Each structure stands twice: as structure tokens, then as C-alpha cells.
Structure 1
Amino acid sequence: MRFFEDLSVGDTYEYGTYDVTEDEILEFAEQYDPQWFHTDPERAEEESMYGGLIASGWHTVAMTMRLIVDGYVGDMESLGAKGVDELRWWAPVSPGDALSIENEVLELTPESESRGLAKIKTTTYAERESGDVEKVCSFVGLSMFGRKRDE
């Protein structure tokens, strides 16, 4: 288990991959973001400026969170988060993309004897079926981690 003190400003971690499927895009969108370019593959291919079905940006953030937990936070004494700043969607995510992330520790602030706050920039990348890699999402998370206790 890693703690707040195990982090250093400037640390960078890379994690992935998450394979995006059409079924998952449709399921998420039907429940949470039922706009036609997320829910209607035929119409999206014919009419959208994206050239086909795309994932909701909120779905992209949810898939990113899965990568964060599986690759990083799951091994930390995580206490949740205080928020997210600077959320940006740079490019759409499509079926067949493989997502990966990069985390960079920007700032560390001890908040109490038991907790510290880490400001971490997360960037999500999509490897396209063509092999090209593109930045699709970024944000700065305000994550709380437990501090080491003297035993």
C-alpha cells in the first residue's frame, strides 16, 4: 500500500489499456447521455460531423477513472477526491479505440496528520484502429490520500 508521502511532484505514471466497444458506448449513452451521435450508429455515420458513433465525453471520463483505479489508485491509500479542474475533451472516442492514461503529480499539500491532497493531471489517449495515438481528454484531479502513521 502506498501513501501520500510516497508521491513526489513531477512523478509521471502511464497506464492502459481500455478497449472501447460499440455496445458499451450505446449502453452508457442510452442511460446517461442519449444524444443521437452517441445512440444511433447509422445516423451518426450519415449525418454527424464525427463520421460515426462516438462515446459521450462523460463516458470517456468514466473509462479514464477505471484506468486510474486499476493502474494507480487501487494501490494507494485513497480517500476520494475533492473535485476536478480543467476538464477538456480534445477529440472524440470511437468504437475500437484503446484508451491509456498518463498521470503527472503537479502539487502535494499535507492537509492534516491523516490526509494529504495531491493535484494530479490526467491525460487520456486513444490509440485508433489505424495505429495513430491522439489525446482525447484531460483534467486535473484533486485527490486525497492517507498519510503514513508512526507505529
Structure 2
Amino acid sequence: MRYFEDLAVGDTNAFGSYEVTRDEVLDFAGKYDPQPFHLSDEGAEGTHFGRLAASGWHTCAMTMAMIVRDMQANDTGGLGAAGIDELRWLKPVYPGDVLRVESEVVETRAFRSKPDMGSALTRSTVFNQADEPVMSFLATGLYRRREGAAS
């Protein structure tokens, strides 16, 4: 298992591959973000999207799926997250796009009040198949510490 102590400022990770499908875009938008440009090509005509585009919130959900798969594959001692900051949707995501994630640890902090936990601030960027950034954010993840690490 990877623990908090295994994380260092400057560590990078590139992972994931998520193909965006038209059916998924329509399903998500219909349930959670039913704006016309997320529901049909006709609804997107005349907008800056030009055609059916995924909701930014759907992009977040697809990114979370990639993050969780990476954590499971690498047996990370993740304990959830304390929040997201500076979320930016940089470019539309369209059906047919294939997304991936690159992240970098920018800060770590051991907790005094909870000696079994620490946090890592990570800057993540999501790219499409053309290596264009489509979304970025800072996330504060919570991680297990090794037993006795705080002593």
C-alpha cells in the first residue's frame, strides 16, 4: 500500500483513458445538467460549442472514475478528499474524445490532531486525445499514515 509518507512534493502521475460516448453525455445531461447544448447537436448550434458537448460536471465525474481506478490499481491509502479548488473547464469535451489525467503533488501536510492521517494537495489536468487540456483543478486528498509514523 502507498501511504502518506510515500508522497513527496513534485511527484507526478499520468494515468487513465476514458472514451466519452454520446449516450453517456445525453444520459448525464438529461439527469443532472439539462441545458440544450448538452442534450442535442441542434441545441448546441449557434453556441460556442457548435455541437453536442459534455457537461463540465460530467467531465468531473469521468475524471473521478479514472482517479479511483488509478488508486485501486496502485493500492493507495486514500481516505477521501477535503475539497477541490480552482476548478476550470478549459475546453469543451465532445463525444468521441478520449480523456486522460496528469497530476502533480504540490504540498503535503501531516495532521497533528489526527496522527493516522495526512493530506496532499495535487494539481491535476485532464487532457483529450489531442493532448489539449480540457479541465484543471487542485484537490486536497486525505491519506493513511504508516502505523507509528507520527511518533
Deviation (angstroms), 1:50: 1.2
Mapped to 1, the partners of 2:16 and 2:140 lie a distance apart of: 21
Deviation (angstroms), 1:73: 5.8
Give the residue type in structure 1 aligned to 2:64: M
Tell me the alpha carbon deviations over residues 59-89 of structure 1, each in whole angstroms, 9 at most, x when there is no partner. 0011111111111366211111110011000
Give the residue type in structure 2 aligned to 1:89: W
- SS at the partner of 2:128? strand
Mapped to 2, the partners of 1:73 and 1:122 lie a distance apart of: 18
Question: Counterpart in 1 of 2:25?
Answer: 25
RMSD of Structure 2 on Structure 1 (CA): 1.5
Query: Aligned pair 1:116/2:118, yes or no?
Result: yes
Give the residue type in structure 1 aligned to 2:54: A
Q: Where do 5+ consecutive residues of structure 1 fail to align?
A: none
Mapped to 2, the partners of 1:56 and 1:101 lie a distance apart of: 18
Correspondence 1:138-149 to 2 at 5 A: 138-149=136-147
Mapped to 2, the partners of 1:76 and 1:18 lie a distance apart of: 20
From 133, 136, 148, give the equivalent of 1:135. 133
Query: Aligned pair 1:8/2:11, yes or no?
Result: no
TM-score in terms of structure 1 length: 0.92
Structure-2 change in CA distance of 1:50 and 1:88 (3 Å): same
Deviation (angstroms), 1:48: 2.4
Count, aligned residues: 146
Mapped to 2, the partners of 1:103 and 1:67 lie a distance apart of: 12
Greater shift in the superposed pair: 5-14 or 68-77: 68-77
Deviation (angstroms), 1:42: 2.9
Query: Aligned pair 1:91/2:68, yes or no?
Result: no
- SS at the partner of 1:105? strand
- SS at the partner of 1:68? helix
- Whether the 8 Å CA contact 2:36–2:43 is kept in 1: the answer is yes
Mapped to 1, the partners of 2:55 and 2:71 lie a distance apart of: 24
- Identity of aligned pairs, percent? 48
- SS at the partner of 1:72? helix
- SS at the partner of 2:54? coil
TM-score in terms of structure 2 length: 0.92
Tell me the alpha carbon deviations over residues 18-59 of structure 1, each in whole angstroms, 9 at most, x when there is no partner. 000000000000000000000122332x33221100000000
Mapped to 1, the partners of 2:72 and 2:14 lie a distance apart of: 13
Question: Counterpart in 1 of 2:127?
Answer: 125
Deviation (angstroms), 1:150: 3.7
